[in-house]
Structure 1
Amino acid sequence: MTLTNWAGNTTFHAKDVHHPTSLDELRRLVAASAGVRALGSGHSFNHVADTTGDLVVLDRMPDQVEIDSAAATVRVGARTTYATLAPRLHQAGFALANLASLPHISVAGSVATGTHGSGDAVRSLAAAVSGIELVTADGSLLSLSRGDADFPGAVVSVGALGVVTSLTLDLVPAFELRQYVREGLSEDALAHFGEIMSSGYSVSLFTDYRDTRVWLKREEELADPDWYGTTPADGPRHPLPAMPADSCTGQLGVPGPWYERLPHFRADYPPSGAGDELQSELLLPRRHAAEALRALFAIGDRIRPVLQISEVRSIAADDLWLSPFNGRDSIGIHFTWVKDVAAVMPVLELVERTLAPYEPMPHWGKLFTRWPECPGSFRALARRLDPAGKFANDFTRLLLGE
C-alpha cells in the first residue's frame, strides 16, 4: 500500500513501515535499523518525515496522559493528539497556554517542527515542553529536562536526534475565551498592526491580499462596535470565505472553554480542506510585520490565482535552538495554496524573494525552497547523538549543510 502524507502531495519511500506496541519493541527496532524516521499525524507538506529505511508509526503504543496537579504539568505519549489531550486537561481544571488551529495533529510532530498557535504574549507549542524522552541511535532512552545543556536543541529537532516517545508539558489553569470575527479590515489599518494583534489572547488575520478579516479570541467581551473600522460578522464564518462554517469552533462572542476557542477548527470534524491544499509559512521578526505585509499586498495579483487564504499570526519568542522564534518575537505569514505544485512553486519562490529582506525562517513542516543556516549548536548535537546518521534523510542533510 502506498503511504502518503495528509495532503497526498508527498509519498513516503520507506522500505518497511513499523507499528511498535511497546517501548522495548521500539528500542529494539531502532537499535537494529540502519536508517529510521518517525511519522506523526502526517500533517507535514514536505519530506521531513521521509526515509528510504524504516518508518516508525507510534499509533499502537500505549496511550499516556499523566497529569501532575502539584507541578502543573502533564506527561503525554508522542502519539497523543491535542484533540485527545485537551478535554482531559480541562476536566482536571488545567489548560495549555496555546493550541494550533487544528487540534487533530500529534503533540510530538507539532513540537518537532516548531508548530504554533497565535498570541502576542504566548509562545509556540514547543515552548510548553519541560521534559522530553527519546530513543537514540543505539536504542538507549535519553531523558532531558529544561535546564539540561542539550534540552534547547532536543525539543524542536525535526526527528534528527531520535524517536520521541513522551513529552512533559507545562499547564496553566483552565480558562474561557470568546471568539469574534470582524470583517473589512483595510490595508491602511496595518499602521496599527501591533495594537490589533495585541487586542486579544489570540488574534489571526485572514487575507487574500485584497480583503482581510480578523479572528479575535478574547477573555473579555468586545465592546467597540467600530473596532479598527471593521464590522462584526453576522454569522459564523470559515477562514475560506466560500466554505460553510460547520467545522469551525464557536464564534459570535459566545464564551467557551479554551480548547473549543483557540483552534479555528473543531476536533469532531475532519481537518480543514480534507487535504485538498498545500501549505507554506514564513516566520519573521515582529518588528518587520507591517512592512512585510505591505510588500505582499503589492504582489497580491500574483499571489491570488494560486492562493486559497493567507493567515497572519503573532508568536512570542522562545529559546529553542531550531525554533523559528528563537530569540525573537515573531509573526507567522501562512499560505494555504491550491493543490497544484507546478503552479504554486513559482509563486512561493516569489513570496520568499519578497520577504527575504525581513529575516524569514520557514515552518519546518511546510513547503519552502530557501534553507536558513542551521545553528552550529544543533549541528554539533546531531553529530554527537547520531554520528552515523541513522536518523538522517534528505531533509536533515540539507538542514545540516551536509
Structure 2
Amino acid sequence: MKKRTFLKLSSVLMSAPVLAPLTGLAADEKLKNWAGNYTYSTDRLYQAKSLGQVQELVKKYSKLKVLGTRHCFNGIADSVNNLISLRQMDQVIGLDTKARTVTVDANLSYGQLSPYLESKGFALHNLASLPHISVAGACATATHGSGVKNGNLSTIVSGMEIVTAAGEVRTLSRKKDGDTFRAAVVHLGALGVVTKIMLDIVPTYQVRQYVYENLPLAQLKEHFEAIVSSGYSVSLFTDWQKKRINEVWIKSRVSEGAKAVPEFFGAKLATKNLHPIAELSAENCTEQMGKPGPWYDRLPHFKMGFTPSSGKELQSEYFVPRKNAVEAILAIEKLRDHISPHLFISELRTIDADTLWMSPCYKQPSLAIHFTWKQDWASVKKVLPMIEKELAPFAARPHWGKLFTLSAKTLQSRYEKLDDFKKLVKEYDPNGKFRNAFLDSTIYG
C-alpha cells in the first residue's frame, strides 16, 4: 500500500461510523497488505471502537475476518465478504504490578506498549524484528523474537478475551483453562475476534548489541550451540554465498556483563552500525557497537520510531527442530545458486519450545530459517518447493503468516493437536463464520 493510501485509510478509520464500509481508497486502488504483494478480496472494511461494537458486527454478518496491521504475506486474514478493523482499540487497559501482567486492547502495537511498560519499570521478555505489528496479530500466528531460552511472543499470553461467532464474550486464562487456553492462544483467526490480551511482564532491563562480520560456515558446523547461545538473543544473517554468515547480531542483557572481543569464531567485530543487508543504511536500525539501551530499543532490529508504510519484499520462514539445525542449514546452503538471485537476506534464529497447540515451536526447541525475498512471486514460488523438499526430513513447519507451498496434507501431518484444535473451532464457530480460503485450504483441505 502506498504511503498516501495508508494515511488516507488511517484517517477514515478514525472518523467513520461503525457500520459503514470503510476504505478511504480511490476508485482504482485496492486494499493491500503491508508489503503490497497481497490484495484483499473485499473493500467492505468496518471498524469497531468497543467490545459492544465488535459484538454488533459479529452478530450482523454471517462471514467476516479481522484485519490487523496487515503484516501477513498470505491470505490468512482475508475475506471475500467482510473485514473488521480494531484499529481504535489500542489502549493499555490495566497494569498489575503484583501479578506482573499487563492487559491491552488487541490492536495495540508493540511500539506503543513498550515505552509505556518501560515508564512503569517493566518489560516484555522479547520482541519481533519490527515494532509496529499488533500484539494480537503476532500472538495469533506465533510470531517470535530470538533466543535459545526465549519462547515466541505467544508464550507470554496469560489471558485473552474473545468474541465467538454467536457474539458471546469468553475469557480464557492460563491458570483456569488448561488445554482450551493452549489451543486458543495461537488461533489463526479461526475462533473469533480477540479483543483483549493479558501478557506476562518482567522488570525492565538494559541490552547492548555487538555485530560481527563474515562468520565462516565451517565454524557454524562445529560450534552452532556456542554461537547461538552467546547472547540473550542472537541472529545470523546470510545471503548463502561464499560459505559464510554475513553478519552475527548478538544482543545481551547488560546485567550479564557480556563484552566485545575482536574476533568471534573467525568473524570480525564490526566498526560501525550495520543494516542486516550491509549495502543499506543502518540509520533506522537499533543501536549497536555495545552502547547500552532499554530492552525495547535493542531487541528489535529496527527502531521503535521507524514504522514503514510498506515494504517491497516477500517473506517465508520455516521452523525445524534445533537438534537438526546444522543439517537443515547445510541442506539450504546447497540451494544457494537457486536462492540468491531472488533474495535480499536470510535470518537464522532460535526459539525455545512451547505447549501452544498450533505454534510451529510446539514441543520442540527450534531454529527459524527466514527468507526476505525480492518482490517477484513468480520466481519465489518456484524456489519454495525446493526449500521445502530439502527441509522435509526435518518436518519443517512454516510460519502461518508468510509464504509457503506445502500441501495441506503435509502441513496437517506436522501438527499433532490439529484434530483437537478443529473441535474447539467447531465449538466457538459452528457454522464457519470466521473460515476463509486460507483456513479451508490449510486446516481443512
User: TM-score, length-normalised on structure 1?
Assistant: 0.98
Letter in 2 for 1:192: H
Instruction: Tell me, yes or no, if the aligned pair for 1:137 and 1:385 is still in contact at 8 Å.
Output: yes
Checking the alignment, whether the CA contact within 8 Å between 2:261 and 2:269 is kept in structure 1 is no
Which residue is 1:152 aligned to?
A: 182
Would the aligned equivalents of 1:22 and 1:62 in 2 still touch at CA under 8 Å? Answer: no
Shift of 1:15: 5.3
Structure 2: gaps of 5 or more residues: 1-24
Alignment pair present for 1:28 and 2:56: yes
Give how far 1:100 is off. 0.3
Equivalent position of 1:102 in the other structure? 130
What is the match of residue 399 of structure 1?
442
Cα shift readout 1:330-366 (whole Å, capped 9, x = no counterpart) = 0100000000110111111211111111110010010
Are 1:177 and 2:207 an aligned pair?
yes
Within 5 Å, give how 1:186-335 maps onto structure 2: 186-190=216-220, 191-210=222-241, 211-212=244-245, 213-219=247-253, 220-271=257-308, 274-335=310-371
3-state SS of 2:405 partner: coil
The aligned counterpart of 1:16 is 44
Q: How far apart are the structure 2 equivalents of 1:382 and 1:15?
A: 26
Cα distance in 2 between the residues matched to 1:299 and 1:342: 18
- Give the secondary-structure state (helix, strand or coil) at the position aligned to 2:265: helix
User: Could you tell me how far 1:105 is from its partner in structure 2?
Assistant: 0.4
Give the unaligned 5+ runs of structure 1. none
1:225 is displaced (CA, Å) by: 2.3
Q: Deviations over 1:111-138 (max 9, x none)?
A: 0011000000000000000001111001
- Please give the secondary structure, in 2, of the residue aligned with 1:217: strand
Partner of 2:18: none
Cα distance per residue 1:2-21 (max 9 Å; x no partner)? 21100111111125110112
Specify which of 64, 68, 73 is matched with residue 45 of structure 1. 73
How far apart in 1 are the matches of 2:426 and 2:106?
A: 23
Contact 1:135 1:141 in 2 (8 A): yes
1:347-366 alignment to 2 at 5 Å?
Answer: 347-366=383-402
- For residues 55-103 of structure 1, give each alpha carbon's deviation from its aligned partner in whole angstroms, at most 9, with x where no partner exists: 0010123623421101000001011000000011011111100100101
Q: How many residues align?
A: 401
Q: What pairs with 1:155-170 in structure 2 (closer than 5 Å)? A: 155-170=185-200
Query: Which residue pairs with 2:98 in the alignment?
Result: 70
Separation in structure 2 between the aligned mates of residue 223 and residue 368 of structure 1, nearest angstrom: 38
Secondary structure at 1:204 match in 2 = strand
Instruction: Tell me the equivalent position of 1:124.
Output: 152
* 2:16 alignment counterpart: none
CA distance 1:37–1:337, shift in 2 (3 Å): same
Q: What is the SS of the residue equivalent to 1:184?
A: strand
Contact 1:65–1:85 (8 Å) recurs in 2: no
Q: 1:49 to 1:200 in 2, by over 3 A?
A: same
Does structure 2 conserve the Cα–Cα contact (< 8 Å) formed by 1:136 and 1:386? Answer: yes
After TM superposition, give the deviation of residue 51 of structure 1 in Å.
Answer: 0.5
Counterpart residue number, 2:15 = none
- Do the aligned partners of residues 62 and 42 (structure 1) sit closer, same or farther apart at CA in structure 2, a change above 3 Å counting? closer
Deviation at 1:274?
A: 3.8
1:385 aligns with 2:400: no
The separation in 2 between residues aligned to 1:42 and 1:274, in whole angstroms, is 10
CA distance in 2 between partners of 1:363 and 1:227 (Å): 30
AA paired with 2:240?
A: Y
Matches of 1:388 and 1:58 in 2, distance apart? 23
The 10-residue stretch of structure 1 (194-203 or 375-384) with the greater mean CA deviation from structure 2 = 375-384
Q: Distance in 1 between matches of 2:444 and 2:52?
A: 33
Superposed CA deviations along residues 230-275 of structure 1, whole A, max 9, x for unmatched, are 111110000112110000000001111100000000021234x941
Contact 1:221 1:253 in 2 (8 A): no
- The equivalent residue for 1:79 is 107
Query: Equivalent residue of 1:150, what SS?
Result: helix
RMSD (Å), alpha carbons: 1.2
Whole-angstrom CA distance in 2 between matches of 1:387 and 1:183? 53
Deviation per CA, 1:363-396: give whole Å up to 9, x if none: 0010011141151111111112111000000111
Moved over 6 A (4+): none
Counterpart residue type for residue 162 of structure 1 = G
